[in-house]
């Protein structure tokens, strides 16, 4: 099927946003998305496959300006952050039942951006540069588990780690032209990998290896993942889909406190889980990138409550702006990591 929107919707931006790790770019310029045991191919109409001929729209164009400035020129060559027509591999029914919600299409992101107060010049600029990203409504368990294993990994490493875990423990969804596709493992499936007699509480030093089994590069996070799986089985009411008897009755603070009970889950992982898995739009994850950019641009402090009820989206704009140049153009001279400045 296909659908059309005029709202912010940029596949490249979402794919590189650091909230989802199972989007893979395809040769036709679209993406294959694996989520909640489903596969979707989505492609924007009018986008040429692969590289575009003439000016080379994305790769390598860092316009000779020293230092790689933000490209201005919306209106520009392919500045289609603002909507378009998309071609999806699913049926109309499946779109209405699942993907419409997954992409959070009932929310109007242009309006949310327009609501940013003009006094906050930097945030406005970041939001404009990163327009097109959306906060996906992902599965709570998949999100929780993914962000547990994300700690102290960069985004490409997270992608690889998640892929290994799915292949090792997830159910096979289908096979497309020779390559198998696996769903994210359920809590039960996670508990099924490795030797059941390993008790993460006892000997942490030998819990990282599973007698010749592939540990999926989990490292010290493996016991954390076990603990989360056990916790999820004990609290099924917090993982009910689509409302229900549920986490909706919990305040953000209460939900965060619940999640932080899990060994290996602290404020940051809980915040990511809440924002990307429970769609708590005020959750405000702060990682090293956010620390850096907040210190640089908001020396007097940044109060997320000012942006309620969508502080988390503002966080996303700031996070992505801070990482400008990492995923797009790997080489342009982003100034090195600034340390605790001294001279």
* 220 to 249: interface string for DNA, x by CB under 7 A: x-----------------------------
Site string for DNA, 304-333 (x = CB under 7 A): -----------xx--x---x------x---
Q: Select the span of 40-48, 68-76, 238-246, 285-293 touching DNA (CB under 7 A).
A: 285-293
Size of the site for DNA (CB under 7 A): 44
Task: Give the nearer residue to DNA in terms of CB position, either 186 or 271.
Answer: 271
Q: Which pair of structure tokens corresponds to residue 261?
A: 């009970």
Q: Applying CB under 7 A, does 298 fall inside the site for DNA?
A: no
Please write down the long-range contacts of 27-35, taking CB distance under 8 Å and 24 or more positions apart. Answer: 30/87, 34/166, 34/173, 34/181, 34/183, 34/184, 35/102, 35/138, 35/139, 35/142
Residue 54 Cβ vs DNA, minimum distance, rounded to whole Å: 27
Helix (H) or strand (E) holding 295, with range, is: helix 288-297
Q: Which is nearer to DNA, 156 or 236 (CB)?
A: 156
266 contributes a contact to DNA by CB under 7 A: yes
CB 329 within 8 A of CB 62: yes
Q: What does DSSP assign to residue 77?
A: T
Question: Binder to DNA among 290, 294, 329, 332 (CB under 7 A)?
Answer: 290
Residue 155 engages DNA in binding (rule: CB under 7 A): yes
In angstroms, the Cα distances linking 15 to 12, 237, 247 are 5, 30, 27
Choose, by CB under 7 A, the member of 285, 311, 313, 317 that binds DNA. 285
Listed in sequence order, the residues at least 6 apart from 275 whose beta carbon sits closer than 8 Å to its beta carbon are 19, 135, 281, 283, 284, 285, 312, 315
The contact set with DNA (CB under 7 A) reads 17-19, 147, 150-158, 160, 205, 208-209, 215, 217-220, 263-270, 272, 285-290, 315-316, 319, 323, 330, 337, 339
């Amino acid at each position: 099927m296909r659908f059309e929107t005029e709202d912010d919707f940029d596949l490249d931006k979402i794919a590189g946003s650091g909230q989802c790790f199972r989007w893979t770019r395809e040769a036709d310029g679209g993406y294959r998305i694996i989520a909640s045991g489903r596969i979707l191919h989505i492609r924007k109409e009018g986008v040429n496959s692969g590289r575009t001929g003439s000016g080379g729209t994305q790769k390598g164009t860092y316009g000779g300006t020293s230092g790689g400035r933000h490209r201005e020129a919306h209106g520009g060559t392919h500045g289609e952050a603002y909507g378009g027509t998309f071609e999806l591999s699913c049926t109309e029914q499946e779109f209405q039942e699942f993907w419409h919600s997954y992409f959070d299409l009932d929310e109007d992101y242009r309006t949310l951006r327009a609501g940013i107060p003009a006094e906050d010049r930097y945030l406005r600029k970041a939001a404009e540069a990163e327009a097109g990203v959306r906060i996906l409504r992902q599965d709570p368990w998949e999100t929780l588990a993914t962000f547990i294993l994300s700690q102290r990994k960069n985004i490409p490493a997270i992608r690889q780690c998640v892929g290994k875990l799915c292949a090792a423990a997830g159910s096979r969804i289908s096979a497309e032209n020779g390559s198998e596709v696996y769903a994210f493992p359920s809590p039960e499936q996670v508990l099924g990998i490795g030797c059941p007699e390993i008790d993460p509480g006892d000997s942490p030093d030998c819990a990282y290896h599973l007698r010749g089994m592939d540990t999926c590069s989990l490292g010290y996070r493996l016991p954390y993942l076990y603990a989360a799986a056990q916790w999820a089985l004990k609290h099924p009411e917090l993982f009910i889909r689509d409302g229900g008897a549920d986490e909706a009755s919990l305040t953000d603070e209460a939900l965060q406190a619940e999640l932080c009970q899990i060994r290996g889950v602290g404020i940051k992982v809980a915040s990511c889980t809440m924002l990307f898995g429970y769609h708590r739009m005020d959750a405000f994850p702060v990682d090293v990138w956010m620390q850096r950019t907040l210190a640089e641009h908001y020396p007097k402090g940044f109060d997320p409550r000012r942006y309620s009820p969508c502080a988390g989206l503002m966080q996303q704009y700031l996070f992505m702006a801070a990482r400008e140049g990492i995923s797009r153009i790997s080489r342009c001279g982003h100034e090195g990591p600034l340390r605790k400045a001294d001279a």
